[in-house]
Amino acid sequence: MLAYTAGGTDVPLLEETIGDNFERIVARFPYHDALIEAAAVPGGEARRWSYTKLNDDVDRLGRALLARGVVKGARIGIWSPNCAEWTILQYATAKIGAVLVNVNPAYRGSELEFVVKQNGMRMLVCAPSDRNSDYTAMARQALAECPELRELVFLPDTGLAELTAGVPETEAERTFAELLKRADDVGHSALKARMAELDPYDAINLQYTSGTTGFPKGATLSHHNILNNGYSIGEQLGYTEHDRVVIPVPFYHCFGMVIGNLAAFSHGAATIIPGRSFSPAAALEAVQDFGGTSLYGVPTMFIAELALADFASYDLSTLRTGVMAGSLCPIEVMNRIISEMNMPGRAICYGMTETSPVSTMTRGVDTMRQRTETVGRTMPRLESRIVDPLSGALMQRGEIGELCTRGYAVMTGYWNQPDKTAEAIDAEGWMHTGDLARMDEDGYIVIEGRIKDMVIRGGENVYPREIEEFLYTHPDIRDVQVIGVPDARYGEELMACVILRPGAGPLDAESLAEFCRGRLAHYKIPRYVDVRESFPMTVSGKIRKVEMREEAAARLGL
């Protein structure tokens, strides 16, 4: 049987803009909770928005942007960790047809300037400076260096002592509060007129790839792309107006703003922001304090939550579902999430920024094996196939090849980079993911790793995930990543980078090899062991294996 499958047609495609969809939901659930931001300081008050209040604040910001002369298609950047204003700007830009540019909060000055120049950003909304990032200084430098950038807007201090809100110094700078005052200059009819000009297929969001290999590329996404993907995800999770979705993953990434905000708001559910950045305790407290029914995270987040010394003290009884995405997850961890975190409906979502992002997903009706060993089936109204990475020939089910996706969720292209777009999306409209995968007889897809992460040792193709899954059964290993490092004899050798459980004894290459002998083929046994405290990650939670390989090669003198 060929490795091809098409998703069902049970979920309709929404032919409306994000703003129109939101107003339709507001009319249905005007007084339901829409957004809750947990207190920024211990003992403080959480900030809350009903759907009506959130819509009012979105409209006010939208009118203020119109007053500043923001035209349809203008690029507006948001450079901030998670906060309520991020969500408000997401929907305000959607209502006026501006393209929201998600800027990675971890970027430094040169990276910010690259993004600003690459898309011709007109306005940048940036967070207060904190102990990790002087957002204000870097934004001002970008303003000086990038002629296209005409305005800086400083978000308010949320009450944390280490935050410093920007104080406007020039006519090109203003606070968020000062921007909002301009709303009085534009009537509501002007906002409605702008909304009427918009088309669901207009570009509305620009997200930059992590840039682990070369300069970041801007994936351009339309209302149609991300609204439908968020809605479809919410349908698979069974979201209703009674759900409360805890979102500790970054809004900067599709995980937060699409799987999170759009999936929830398109179903009348509430979103809960635990904090500006991830804290395992804050995430579980948000579930406990606000009755969270769904919890999101990448595998490392769930691992950190389960590792809390007082984990058993949190009341997670309201949970029923959630989403794990961002990178491959060990089966042992998934089993613990289902049994210990009260998340029987927990779903695995797979995809990439360029596919809005989710192209496959597990369902609540799936067997335990399907929900723990695969990334599910093709999403409704999308197609998946697995091809030979070299020839492009369609593979048979069970064979490993490159996973490709086609359908409404595929991006419109990379911003101003038609050559890069053509490399990623072929003439038939298939998005080439760069991921190695296989499809089983029932159409479920198993991700074997990145093509670039595959290790070729002495002519043998070695897939790191298989070894990682086995090493998770070691009693002393809490987390593990397997990488390839240069070797004069075999071309590449394997290294196991491990994080040990608290109190575990020393672990070296020989003791690990002894654990593997007779249970793994000899060429799959790691030659090197690197015991670490953490793994380098992108802000969206993906392990930076490229960086780990470079570090290991340098340290070993290879």
Q: What residue spans define the domains of the chain?
A: 18-34+48-199, 454-556
Judge contact between 75 and 203, C-beta under 8 A. no
Q: Provide the H-helix boundaries in 34-128.
A: 51-67, 84-96, 109-119
Q: Within a 10 A sphere around the Cβ of 111, how many other Cβ atoms? A: 17
Average of per-residue pLDDT values in the chain: 93
Query: Could you give the C-alpha distances from 249 to 37, 90, 202, 360, 539, in angstroms and in order?
Result: 14, 16, 26, 19, 9
* 299 neighbors 329 (Cβ within 8 angstroms): yes
Shared fold status for 18-34+48-199 and 454-556: no
Q: Could you tell me if 360 and 379 are in contact, meaning their C-beta atoms sit under 8 angstroms apart?
A: yes
What value does the CA radius of gyration of the chain take, rounded to a whole number of Å? 23
| Cα gap 328→278, rounded to integer Å | 19
Cis previous bond, 357, omega within 30: yes
Predicted confidence (pLDDT) per residue in 546-557, tens digit? 899 999 999 888
Tokens 């949190």, residue? Answer: 314
List the beta bridge partners of residue 6: 383
Give residue 377's pLDDT: 98
Among the CATH numbers 1.10.10.10, 3.40.50.980, 1.25.40.10, 3.40.50.10490, which is that of 18-34+48-199?
3.40.50.980
Class of domain 454-556: alpha beta
Digitized pLDDT (tens) for each residue of the chain, 558 residues in all? 999 999 999 999 999 999 999 999 999 999 999 999 998 777 789 999 999 999 999 999 999 999 999 999 999 999 999 999 999 999 999 999 999 999 989 888 988 999 999 999 999 999 998 888 899 999 999 999 999 999 999 998 765 445 566 777 788 999 999 999 999 999 999 999 999 999 999 999 999 986 444 678 999 999 999 999 999 999 999 999 999 999 999 999 999 999 999 999 999 999 999 999 899 999 999 999 999 999 999 888 999 999 999 999 999 999 999 999 876 677 788 889 989 999 989 999 999 999 999 999 999 889 988 988 899 999 999 999 999 988 999 999 999 999 999 999 999 999 999 999 999 999 999 999 999 999 999 999 999 888 888 888 877 878 888 899 899 999 999 999 999 999 888 889 999 999 999 999 899 999 999 999 988 888 899 999 999 999 998 765 678 888 999 999 998 888
- Using the Cα atoms of residue 295, residue 323, residue 81 and residue 107 in order, give the sign of their dihedral: positive
